Amino acid sequence: MTKAELIAAIAKECKISKTLSEKAINSFTNHITKALKKGDKLTLTGFGTFCVSKRKARKGRNPQTGAELNIKACSLPKFKAGKELKKAVM
CATH of the domain at 61: 4.10.520.10
CA-CA distance, 61 to 69, in Å (whole number)?
5
Q: Which domain holds residue 4?
A: 1-39
Q: Tell me: the pLDDT tens digits for 21-73?
A: 999 999 999 999 999 999 999 999 999 999 999 999 999 999 999 899 999 99
Mean pLDDT, residues 5-13: 95
With H, G, I as helix, E, B as strand and everything else as coil, classify residue 62.
coil
Is the same domain home to 16 and 30? yes
Note whether 35 and 78 are within 8 A (CB).
no
With H, G, I as helix, E, B as strand and everything else as coil, classify residue 41.
coil
Is the same domain home to 4 and 18? yes
Mean pLDDT, residues 8-12: 95
CA-CA distance, 79 to 50, in Å (whole number)?
5
pLDDT of residue 53: 93
Is the same domain home to 31 and 48? no
Is the same domain home to 4 and 31? yes
Q: Tell me: the pLDDT tens digits for 27-40?
A: 999 999 999 999 99
Task: Determine if the pTM surpasses 0.85.
Answer: no
Confidence bin at 2 (pLDDT 50/70/90): very high
Is the same domain home to 49 and 67? yes
